């Protein structure tokens, strides 16, 4: 009995610390998601306005990986995008956990949940992982939807011969931003 108390205290302090730490990590991950989207979307929109979707594909092909890499470097997190039907075959193939989470996001979106509300954070040993779904909005369908314009099909073929990221409908989960950090 006399020995049980310190053990209990120890357990409770680690679980409290864990929860606070996870909250902090989740906030950092959310901030990085905002930064990723906040940097990519204006470039995408500007390129669309200036040169249409084929120009935007060329911009996106370099801008998206560059943003992911520079955010990873500056933050200490690993930042990338993944999808069950990826466009970029060298970067966006999900690992086992990401795949399971994406399937879960899909199921929730089919049940009516908005993709922007779908996220998941998890502590895995010494690694914290976080995923935020990205939904197919109207602007996305120009390059990810059904019945794409021929110049779009041609440009995608040129940059991404193994593209699987078409055929989406409004409100579906296009993919997710996936972040992780070693602690
Ligand atoms: C102008 C065409 C275009 C538009 C519009 C567009 N995308 Fe993409 N998308 C691309 C290209 C090109 C890539 C591959 C970028 C790369 O190499 O990382 C891509 C990749 C992605 C990826 C990474 C996973 C993968 O499949 O490689 C996600 C997630 C994604 N797009 C979501 C969206 C969402 C959400 C929108 C709307 C807000 C959107 N895209 C609008 C062209 C577009």
Assess if residue 47 is contained within a domain. Answer: yes
**Does some domain include residue 3?**
no
CB atoms within 10 A of CB 176: 27
Q: Is residue 4 part of a domain?
A: no
What is the model's pTM?
0.92
In a domain, 6, yes or no: no
What CA–CA distance (Å, rounded) separates 173 from 114? 9
Pocket flag, ligand 1, residue 165 (CB < 6 Å): yes
| 53 Cβ inside 6 Å of ligand 1 | yes
H helices within the chain, ranges in order?
4-75, 96-110, 141-144, 150-159
Ligand 1 geometric centre to CA of 157 (Å): 14
Please check whether residue 127 lies inside any domain of the structure.
yes
Of 127, 120, 132, the residue nearest 180 (C-alpha): 127
* d(C-alpha 77, C-alpha 172), whole Å: 27
Residue 69, domain extent: 21-182
Nearest to 177 by CA among 76, 74, 71, 89: 71
Q: Residues 97, 105: contact at Cβ < 8 Å?
A: no
pLDDT digit of tens for each residue in the chain (183 aa)?
445 555 444 554 455 558 899 999 999 999 999 999 999 999 999 999 999 999 999 999 999 999 999 999 999 999 999 999 999 999 999 999 999 999 999 999 999 999 999 999 999 999 999 999 999 999 999 999 999 999 999 999 999 999 999 999 999 999 999 999 998
Distance CA 162, CA 130 (A): 27
Classify residue 15: in a domain, yes or no. no
10 domain residue, yes or no: no
3-state SS, 78-117, equals EEEEECCCCCCCCCCCCCHHHHHHHHHHHHHHHCCCCHHH
Structurally, the chain folds into a number of domains equal to: 1
Dist CA 41 CA 32 (whole Å) = 14
Ligand 1: residue whose CA is nearest its atom 20? 87
Is 175 within a domain? yes
Name the phi and psi angles at 115, rounded to 5. -55, -35
Q: Does residue 180's CB lie within 6 angstroms of at least one atom of ligand 1?
A: no
Predicted local distance difference test score (pLDDT) of residue 13: 47
Which own/partner pairs from 90-95 qualify as long-range (CB within 8 Å, at least 24 positions apart)? 91/65, 92/175, 94/178
- CB 75 less than 6 A from any atom of ligand 1: no
pLDDT recorded at residue 19: 87
CA of residue 139 to ligand 1 center, whole Å: 10
Does the Cβ of 108 fall within 6 Å of ligand 1?
no
Nearest CA to ligand 1 atom 15: 61
Question: Going by CA atoms, what residue is nearest to atom 34 of ligand 1?
Answer: 140
How many Å lie between the centroid of ligand 1 and the Cα of residue 166? 10
Mutate to test the pocket of ligand 1, among 165, 171, 173, 178 (most ligand atoms within 8 A of CB): 165
Burial annotation 26-57 (CB, 10 A radius, 16+ → b, else e): bebbeebbebbeebbeebbeebbeeeebbebb
pLDDT of residue 1: 45
């Amino acid at each position: 009995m006399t020995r049980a108390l310190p053990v209990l205290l120890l357990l409770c302090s680690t679980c409290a610390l864990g929860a606070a730490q996870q909250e902090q990590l989740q906030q950092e991950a959310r901030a990085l998601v905002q930064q990723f989207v906040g940097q990519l979307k204006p470039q995408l929109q500007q390129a669309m306005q200036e040169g249409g979707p084929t120009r935007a594909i060329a911009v996106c092909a370099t801008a998206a990986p560059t943003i992911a890499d520079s955010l990873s470097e500056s933050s200490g997190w690993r930042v990338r995008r993944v999808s069950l039907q990826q466009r970029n075959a060298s970067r966006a193939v999900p690992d086992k956990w990401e795949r399971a989470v994406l399937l879960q996001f899909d199921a929730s979106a089919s049940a009516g949940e908005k993709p922007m509300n779908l996220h998941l954070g998890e502590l895995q040993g010494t690694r914290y992982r976080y995923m935020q779904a990205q939904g197919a909005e109207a602007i996305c369908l120009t390059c990810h939807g059904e019945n794409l314009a021929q110049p779009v099909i041609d440009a995608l073929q040129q940059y991404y011969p193994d593209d699987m990221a078409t055929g989406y409908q409004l409100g579906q989960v296009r993919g997710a931003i996936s972040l992780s950090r070693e602690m």
